[in-house]
Amino acid sequence: MVFITLLSKSVAKEGYRFQYFGEASACKKCEFYHICHEKMEKGRVYEVVKVRKNKEQFCKLVDDYVVPVEVDEVEHEILINVEKAIEGAVITYTPLVCSEYDCEYKPLCNPIGLFDKDRVQIIKILSSVECGNSVLKKVRVKRVTNS
């Protein structure tokens, strides 16, 4: 779901990705608090899809001008069991437990911004991946929200 927030002018570019870590205590007193933080979820990763050319506002916290941007939560590439890999299906995401710290696929087992029990829709099946004694599917997913 695309929504508007404010970002520092220096990073407000289409394609810019960021993880939201929550607001600073000073933000709660700001008149732009709801625009900046209301729709963001802590730990999620967002991407700027459009920079609006509206009036800039000065943010004392970042000591820079901020501008309105349209952001959307990013799609994720993950590994799942073969039997769950059906394009268009909505599944409950469960991170894979992996003890191989140097595995090239480790970031796909537990990607940043996706949490255990999130509902996700499988957008595309990308490939098969051999993992230990099993085969997994690498898929692109989008989190499904109730809003």
Please tell me the predicted confidence (pLDDT) of residue 147.
Answer: 59
Q: How many CB atoms are closer than 10 A to CB 97?
A: 7
Question: Tokens 């599944």 identify what position?
Answer: 91
Residue 126 pLDDT > 80: yes
Longest dimension (CA), the chain: 57
At 13 the pLDDT is 96
Looking at residue 96, the DSSP 8-state letter turns out to be P
Long-range contact pairs involving 29-32 (C-beta distance under 8 Å, separation at least 24): 30/59, 30/61, 32/6, 32/57, 32/59, 32/66
> The tokens of 27 are what?
């933000």
82 with 120, same domain: the answer is: yes
Q: Which of 2, 4, 1 is nearest to 52 (CA)?
A: 4
pLDDT of residue 134: 85
Which of 13, 48, 73 terminates a domain? The answer is 73
Overall number of domains in the chain: 2
- In this prediction the pTM is 0.90
Mean pLDDT within 23-31? 92
The domain boundary residue, chosen from 73, 107, 122: 73
Among 73, 102, 127, give the residue marking a domain's end. Answer: 73
User: What range does the domain containing 83 cover?
Assistant: 76-143
> Both 96 and 125 in a single domain?
yes
Which tens digit of pLDDT belongs to each residue from 52-101?
987 899 998 989 999 999 999 999 999 999 999 999 999 999 999 888 88
pLDDT at 146 over 80: no
- Tell whether 69 and 87 lie within a shared domain: no
User: Do 84 and 66 belong to one domain?
Assistant: no
